[in-house]
Structures are given as C-alpha cells and as structure tokens.
Structure 1
Amino acid sequence: MPLDLPQKPEIWLPSRPAIVRPAVDLTTAEAERKMRLGMLPGITPVIAGRPNVPTKLLMHCEGANGSTSFVDSSFTGIVQTVYGNVQISTAAAKFGSSSILFDGTGDALYSESAVFDLSGPFTMEGFYNIVARSGTFQVPLFDLRPSTGGNGIRLSINTSEQLSFYQNENIRATSGVLTAGIWYHVALTKDASNVYRAFLNGTQFGSNYTDATAYASGACTIGQYPDVRTSPTQVSYQGYMDELRFSKGVARYTSSFTPPTAPFGPYD
C-alpha cells in the first residue's frame, strides 16, 4: 500500500538584481562594441552607417614606396584623381613610414565631393616639408576653388618660400619664410562668424579676415591649381605632404595651439 507522503514544500528565492556596469566604466572600444550590439541596458543597437563626424577627408599618406594609391581613411572615402607622377615616398615622413612626394612638375591630387562645402565652418590642414625651389611661380598647397581664376579660397607657397592665404585672388595673410627639409603644420580655418585664420606650427600668421561669402566649391586640388586637369605639365608643389585632413562644420583652431603630435583619427 503506497504511503501518503506530504508534498515537498516550494522554496521561493528572491531574484537577484542584475549588476549593470555603466558605459563609462568600459574602455572606449568595448563600450562602442556593446552599444552597437545593444548590450547596454536601454541602448538601441546602432545600424551600421556613416558616422556624422567633422573629419571628411583624412589621408595618412601611408603605403609602399612609389605607390600611387592615396587612401582616404575618413568615413567619406573620397577618391583622388592623380596627375603627374605624384607618389608615396618612404624617404620622408612626419608620422608612420611614408608621405606623399610631389616633384614640382604637373603633380597634383584632385577630388570632387559635396563635403568641400565652404558655406560654413571648416578646417583644412596638414604637414608639409618643402624642397627649395629656383622657379618663378607660386603654387598652392591646396586650392578649394572649382576652377583656376575663380572666386574662392586657396593657400599657396610663393617663390620666397612664404605661405600666402588667398581669397578671390587677393592675399589676406602671409607667413614668414619656411626652411626646406623641415616639417611644418599648416592650417586654414573658418569659424561660425565667417572669420578666416591661417596658422603655421600653431601660430596665426596675418590678421583675421572676415568674409561671409558662401563659396561654391565642391572640389579640392592638392599641390596644384584646379586647371591641372587641362594643363598637366605646369609647375606644381615641390616637396612632401603628410597627414592631410579636411574637417567640415568646425574651425578646429581659433587661437595659438600646439601642433598635433600623433596621426589624426577618423572620429576626431
């Protein structure tokens, strides 16, 4: 005869509260990964896309010696059209192991993109190492006009090895003399009040220049004038360039600063 045993009593245990580590306690990379995967409480997974960051063109100028591949490491992915025999060189570098070499004859990089919109704040900058020239022509470090001779903005180096900031073919600021074989950080900025400033190694040269004109650019020519496309043998920049960056929507420098000491990042 089966025994009528009492039922086993149910034991209730309170649920243990989840331990949540806030994102600030995680490393930047780990926090970003968890946010994208929706692993942090209250965070909706991020759909992969193009981040809205100021850096729109970023060229680390890295590659094999003699390469003609110039990678844009920003999220924009701008493709450069190459003129002349501009190439990667391991003979000199500000960061990394290489830079871009321009030999002074017909060399240029040209690109078109809506990010080169000069209607609002922007910053164009890079590191430059010039070669002493005996020519009689000034040449642009970069030209943000859609065509040579048109209205717009460019920064050039003259035959006295000085930098000149041009607006509508008028010189608005001129630097001291650069020495061949030395790396210089050069930047041109426009702020939200339409004030332009030019900097050499973190120090502004010339005075502030205000211009509210919303120049229609959409193009950037590096080392030459825009008409290099139709006159590819004309004199161009001679020397090396490294760590080139165009930032949209921000004037990164409005007063004296310490030049960057490491390569830029795409999220900067």
Structure 2
Amino acid sequence: MKKYFLCLFIVCFSLLGEGIDSYTDLYLNGENFIDQSTYHRSVSTYGNTQVVNNIYQFGNGSYRFDGTGDFVYYNIGTVTYPYTVDFWLRVSSYNSYNTFWGVESKNMLQIQGQKIILSSGTSSVTHRSNTTINLNTWYHLGLVMTSQTSGSLFINGQKETLNFNSSSTGGYGTQGLPTTGNMFFGTYDGWTEYGLNGYIDEIRVSKGIARWDSNFVVPGVSYQNPVPEPCSLILSCIGLLLYFRKYFLFSKKGKI
C-alpha cells in the first residue's frame, strides 16, 4: 500500500508547474497592482501607469506605460543571491532610452538601437543584447544575478552572459547592482524623462534562486495558472504507469 501512496505523491507533485512559490518575493499579474506572492509586498505607482485590458500576454490585463513619467516600484529589502527578475515586455515606440527596469540610480535595462542594454546610467554599458527588439511584439525577459557582479540575461529563453568587469564596454567594474533599495518597472530611480513607451506583464521577482542557468522554453501560461512542464508530464506518466501496473498485478493475485 505504501507504494501506491508513493506513486500518487510522484504524480501529484510533478503536476505542480513553476509559478508562485516560497522564493517569489513579488508577483504582479498585470490585472491590478496587488502583490500576489505570499509576502504581499507594498507596491506603488506613479504618473499615469494603468492596467489595460486590450493588450496583454496572459490573463486579462497588462501595465501600460506612456514614457512620460509612468512607473511601478517596490522596496526589495535586502537582496539574497542568487535572485531572478522576469517579466514580459512589449515596446510601442523607440524613444531616446526606453528604460524599463532598474534598481535605484544608474542601474538599468533599457533599449538603444533596438537592443537591450544593461547600463550604469552614464556612458557605461555592461551588456548589449544579441537579440533585436521589434515593436509591438511580446518578449520574455529574465535577469538572473548569481552575485552582485555576475549573472545572465535571458531573452525569450536564450541565455546571454553578463560581464560586469569588462573595461572594453565601460561596465560597472566591481560595483555591480545595488543590494538594497527600490526596484522600478517602466523607468529607473523615479526618472520621468527616460521611461518605457509600452507594456509589461507578469512581473516576478525571486530571491534565493536562479530560475534558469541555461536556455529554456518560455512560460506558456500565467504563473498564477501553471501547467506541467514536459519533464513533469513524463514523471506523471511514469507514476501513473507504476501505479496501474501494481494495481493490476495485485488484482490478478487476489490481493486487492
């Protein structure tokens, strides 16, 4: 009988897809500004940031930023490495900077020349993406920081390694990203001139975990409605086969 429970446990556990878990420090689903994580962080908005219901990646809404002083932010407390920030991004127009994420001042992700760059806010550029960002197209972005000065940027699941100490690209040197302060979406450090003209959906901040370390298949549903990944489906099938195999064997022997 214990084997039956073990098989059922494997099946049930493997059916849990990746989504909101104990590592999730913040989760905004695009339908409101209420943190859906178990920590219920306080989230603030500024300017004309709004929820729209006609353009979104998942669910019934996304956050609209018009590029003139709109942003969402929360206090990250003390960062625990590794940590991961991921969300969906859709750009409506190419502004001068189109800054869409940042931690405090002079640490940001923005779009320049249709590329995503990680910048210190001056002429220093730590990373320029290989991927070209087209207008009116949803992209999944994942920033995985394994320490204050090392990490990776994932664009639609494709890994690009960050080099914080590269003197050839300006870079941060040994400064890295701040470990405390406010994290901004739609701009950085409250700046109103350099914001995003576009949309952001499915914001998730995870502390104490690197969600990815190699290329991956981007989420196909909202984190609020996770479905089994391929490996989970395989484990589920194995669990079911083991369960029914034992069931029929014992049935034939008259033990159940």
TM normalised by structure 2 equals: 0.71
Aligned pair 1:247/2:216, yes or no? no
Match of 1:185 among 131, 136, 140: 140
Q: What letter corresponds to residue 241 of structure 1 in structure 2? A: I
Aligned pair 1:218/2:177, yes or no? no
Per-residue deviation, 1:132: 1.7
Corresponding residue of 1:79: 42
The number of residue pairs the alignment matches comes to: 210
Corresponding residue of 1:171: 125
Aligned partner of residue 190 in structure 2, secondary structure: helix
Of the two structures, which has the highest relative contact order with CA contacts closer than 8 Å and spacing of 6 or more?
2
Structure with the greater alpha carbon radius of gyration:
1
Q: What letter corresponds to residue 261 of structure 1 in structure 2? A: G
Gaps (5+ residues) in structure 2?
14-19, 166-173, 228-256
Gaps (5+ residues) in structure 1?
1-18, 30-50, 63-68
Match of 1:54 among 19, 23, 36: 23
Aligned partner of residue 195 in structure 2, secondary structure: strand
Q: What letter corresponds to residue 152 of structure 2 in structure 1? A: R
Per-residue deviation, 1:218: 2.9
Q: What's the RMSD between the two structures over aligned residues?
A: 3.1
Corresponding residue of 2:92: 131
Per-residue deviation, 1:74: 0.7
Aligned pair 1:154/2:108, yes or no? yes
Q: Residues 168 and 236 from structure 1, CA distance in 2 versus in 1: closer, same or farther, beyond 3 angstroms?
A: closer
Q: Percent identity?
A: 24
Q: What letter corresponds to residue 223 of structure 1 in structure 2? A: G
Q: What letter corresponds to residue 162 of structure 1 in structure 2? A: K
Whole-angstrom distance in 2 between the partners of 1:74 and 1:267: 14
TM normalised by structure 1 equals: 0.68
Per-residue deviation, 1:212: 8.2
Correspondence list, 1:1-268, <5 A: 22=5, 25=8, 28=12, 53-62=22-31, 69-114=32-77, 117=79, 120-133=81-94, 135-136=95-96, 138-145=97-104, 148-149=105-106, 153-158=107-112, 160-167=113-120, 169=122, 170-175=124-129, 176-191=131-146, 195-205=150-160, 207-209=162-164, 215-228=178-191, 233-265=192-224
- In the alignment, is the contact (CA less than 8 A) between 2:99 and 2:194 conserved in 1? no
Between structures 1 and 2, the one with greater helix share: 2
Whole-angstrom distance in 2 between the partners of 1:181 and 1:227: 25
Whole-angstrom distance in 2 between the partners of 1:214 and 1:89: 31
